[in-house]
Structure 1
Amino acid sequence: MPMHRIPLFCLAVLATMAMASAAMAKPQPARVSQADIIKNAAPGDWRRLDPDNTLVMELQGKPVIIELAPRFAPQHVANIRILTREGFYTGIGVVRVQDNYVTQWADPYDEDKDKAKPLGSARASLPAEFSIAYKGLPLSHFKDADGWAPVSGFVDGMPVAADPAKNKAWIAHCYGVVGAARGNPLDSSNGTSLYAIIGQAPRVLDLNITVVGRVVKGMDVLASLPRGPGAMGFYEKPEQAIPITRARMLADIPVGEQPAIEILRTDTPTWTALVEASRHAIGGWSVHSALHSNICNRSVPTRDIPKSTP
């Protein structure tokens, strides 16, 4: 059949088949595993914890290390430093463990005026710090849609969502994120009661609670505690609280006793490559690549500080 007599739709099908065949013939770029990307990260891709913005708690003989977020909640972080250094957290305990939701710690006697622990020089009331300005924020953007916000990514190792049109950015409620519990009044949080997300990300809490940081080590401790038998996972009696035996700012721990870990920076090409790798399945087991990632299923790697590093 002469070429000019072939129906147009047939030509379109032939062209599509040719393009598909060419695509199959074209060598595909080799995928590097996330483990190899982390292994091959340059020394400058890692950072140490800021001693003045790191809270170290001891729970059941194990450390729980929380990196605070002064960029996002400066007044709450300042209050947490005071509460830590004046001994408020030492001796209080975990009062709530709700399955697939949160582990929360507070003074178990906070509703008993005769037994409640004094706040010392910490402030009893703070303004809500639900969000900060988006403009000028050094956000390492994710390419995929978040679903909860127009823009998302990481800042200072924190998972961040943002609405540029409203000039708002906030730390998202992902696994391991730490927030300051509050009552109905917006200014009722002060850091005396904190919680960590131990389940699937409850993003409905975004912009409703001040987020103060994230757990960088010790999620296994917080997530494995006995679930509370009371409503919303609370322990029913103060004496059931699991005590925090000691809480210190990293800066106040003798150098020889400080946890020797460092965090992968989230403002580097290595981090960008790691996020992209998480979108692709590799290896003999996988048959499908999601080609999608979001800030709550992308954890930030940590590692022991190499002994040769001064």
Structure 2
Amino acid sequence: MSTTAQTTSITELAERVDEAARRVAGLDPEARKAAEELKEAVEAVHRAGLITIVRRMRADERARELLFELVDEPEVRMLFMLHGIIRPDPMTEASRVIDAIRPMVRSHGGDVELVRVEDGVAYVRLKGACTGCSAPAVALREGIEEALIERVPAITRVEVLPPEPSPVLIPLSAVRFGRDDGWVRAIPVEQVPDGRITPLHLTAKDGTEQEAIVVRLGDRFTAYVNECAHQAMPLDDALLDREAGTITCPWHGFSFDAESGECLSMPGAQLERLPLRIDDGHVWIKVGS
């Protein structure tokens, strides 16, 4: 391997790809068509070879673990993403876009919350200067919509949800739950540390037991079955990266999106999410069906 290849960063490589694409776009129609056909042919060969390598490595017990490690390397991950072998889930991609544009939105006195992504539609909730019918508010909304549609291929439309109503506190004793509803009063909210993973052993009224983890990022709480999607190993000591929004399994290094549970190391793997709600200052988690 040449010294240049060894020292070229992933960012520099990506910039070279972008620059080459821009230069091709500036060619005359015939030259551009020939360049694009050459690009597609080379990419097809590379993709077929990569798919064969991945399939063979996944089928071999000795090679599978190495494959999982390789996917965490930025260069390998970028290569797999370029060829569609790894596809980040739309929620993860949209969250990154929102995080990127949030400083701009806040600088105009507004804010935006990504609620969910379903069937190609991103549902967002707007606050502050983003609401209303004034020209600046409309411009902010259009900018948010344009950023999501342009940067996340799976998103074709953006829907703005109405503002959340002010919370009304209802004593928990006034709410009557079914005997077998499966909801377990798990832990006081104040005992769930921010930016940490909290393992819990839960027992429902019918005796059903469940090992779970609660992930807290600010005021966002998520619960999962305490098993890595790779080999069902416990996640008690998993690493939670607040900045990246990821959970990394301590056993084999699998990385998961902290809010969706989607595996970022291997397509198709997913942490099993548990229903969670906050009531009366406590985290409640539903166990069983």
> TM-score of the superposition, structure 2-length normalised?
0.22
Higher helix share: 2
> TM-score of the superposition, structure 1-length normalised?
0.21
Larger-Rg structure: 1
Could you say which structure has the greater relative contact order, defined with CA pairs below 8 angstroms and 6 or more residues apart? 1
